[in-house]
Every structure is written in structure tokens, then in C-alpha cells.
Amino acid sequence: VEKNLKQSAENNNTDAVPNLVQPEGVAALRRASVRDKLLAREVQEMEANRARHVHTRSSTTPDVAAPLRARSVTPEEGVLAGRSRFVFLVQVPEEYNMVPPQVKCTTRLWHPNINEEGNVCLSLLRESSIDGMGWAPTRTLKEIVWGLNALFTDLLNFDDPLDNEAAEHYQRDREGFRGQSARVRAQFTPTR
């Protein structure tokens, strides 16, 4: 029975199974194909419109169905500008675009909105956000990449930090913050 359900789902034949009794697996297969179609279009659009200092690549295969993608950002301006490259892993769940991707920074840095574990504080990655800037099905991967880039310039947020120590350091001693940021970059981040 399960084999027939999968085959009918692959053939997009939903007549074989009444809607009320479709197993979760069939719905997941159908949803994954929606995700894959969205990703194919979004990746193509993102590559066509990306900033020259933002690089994207698949971390596994060129297949858009691969759930893990790497994005690297090399800030050209702002407090963290320099020759460093910051790498982010973007996990796109099967439920995409109804839920946001999960993003981790794999490069260690001194930043108020990215903690030592690589968690990223960016409004558009929240499923629900007080400021109305959270995730919505109309958002795209391109917006996430632009948001990650903006974390190094205009979206650098010292008022609602994820890493309180970095934010307090900046507010207390900006030059000291820049120095600490440069030391961490020199020790942990790859150069261009």
C-alpha cells in the first residue's frame, strides 16, 4: 500500500487516495516538490541579483533539493568590514515557504546579533515577530541573504542583541569593540 501511495504521489495522482486519509508521508512528498520548485526559482533569481561580495553555493550537490546550502558574506563597509569571509549554513525545511529556513553562522565572530554557537538574530527568520518583519510565505532566500549581509552594516542591532557581551562592549568602548572584532576575525575567519 505504501509503495502505491508513493507512486501515486510521484505521478501527482491524488485520485488514488482520498484527501481525508492521505498519510503524512504523501503530503510531505507533495510539499517537498513545492519546496524544490520554489528553491529552483529563488536560487536562480538570487544568483542573478546578488551583490558581488555575497557568494552562494550548494554544500552538497548542485541539486536544488539538497536541504543544506552555504552562503558567505564579505562585508565591504561597517564595523566588521575587512578581508574576512563569514559563512552561513541555511537549512531549508520541507515545509518551506510556510516556515523560515534555519540559519547558522559557522564562522566565529564578535557580533551582537550572532552568538558563539552561531545562532543568528534576524527578524525575518522568526516565525512570528513583534515588529511585523518576521517570516511570511512571500519572503525568499534572496531576502535572507540580503538580511545576513545587512547584519554587517545597517541592521547591526545593539539594542536587541543575541550576544549581550558584544553589544555592551560596543556601547561601552567602540574602539575596543573594533579591536576585539579584528582579533576574533584574525584568529577564526578565512580571508578572501
Residue 27 located in a structural domain: no
pLDDT band (50, 70, 90) for residue 5: very low
Residue 41 located in a structural domain: no
pLDDT band (50, 70, 90) for residue 69: low
Q: What is the pLDDT averaged over residues 111-128?
A: 91
* Total structural domains within the chain: 1
Per the CB < 8 A criterion, the answer to whether 123 and 129 are in contact is: yes
174-188 and 164-172 helices, crossing angle to 10°:
130
- Give the Å distances, CA to CA, from 103 to 7, 29, 54, 91, 116: 33, 23, 16, 6, 14
Provide the strand spans (E) within 74-181.
86-91, 102-105
What cell was used for 25? Answer: 508521508
Burial-class residue 110 by CB neighbours within 10 Å (0-12, 13-18, 19+).
Answer: buried
User: Is omega for the bond preceding 97 within 30 degrees of 0, making it cis?
Assistant: yes
Is residue 121 part of the annotated active site? The answer reads yes
| Percent with pLDDT over 90 in the chain | 20
Write phi, then psi, for 120 (nearest 5 degrees): -115, 130
Among 26, 79, 90, 121, the active-site one is: 121
Pairwise CA distance, residues 89 & 85, whole Å:
13
Pick the closest to residue 128 from 99, 150, 148, 101 (CA basis).
99
Tell me the per-residue pLDDT of 178-187, one tens digit each, with 9 for 90 and over: 899 889 888 8
Residue 126 located in a structural domain: yes
The CB density around residue 44, as the number of other CB atoms within 10 Å, is 11
33 pLDDT above the threshold of 80: no
Instruction: Give the predicted TM-score (pTM) of the model.
Output: 0.70
DSSP code of residue 101 = P
Tell me the per-residue pLDDT of 139-177, one tens digit each, with 9 for 90 and over: 998 888 888 888 887 667 777 889 999 999 989 998 999
Per-position DSSP letters for 103-126, written without gaps between them: EEE-S---BTTB-TT-BB--GGGS
The secondary element (H helix, E strand) that includes residue 192 is: none
58 pLDDT above the threshold of 90: no
Q: What is the pLDDT averaged over residues 26-49?
A: 73
Residue 86 located in a structural domain: yes
The domain that contains 108 carries what CATH number? 3.10.110.10
Q: Is 58 helix (H, G, I), strand (E, B) or coil?
A: strand
Chain-wide mean pLDDT for the chain?
74
21 pLDDT above the threshold of 50: no
The CB density around residue 95, as the number of other CB atoms within 10 Å, is 13
Residue 88 located in a structural domain: yes
Expressed as residue numbers, the domain containing 163 is 51-188
Q: What is the pLDDT averaged over residues 61-65?
A: 45
Residue 55 located in a structural domain: yes
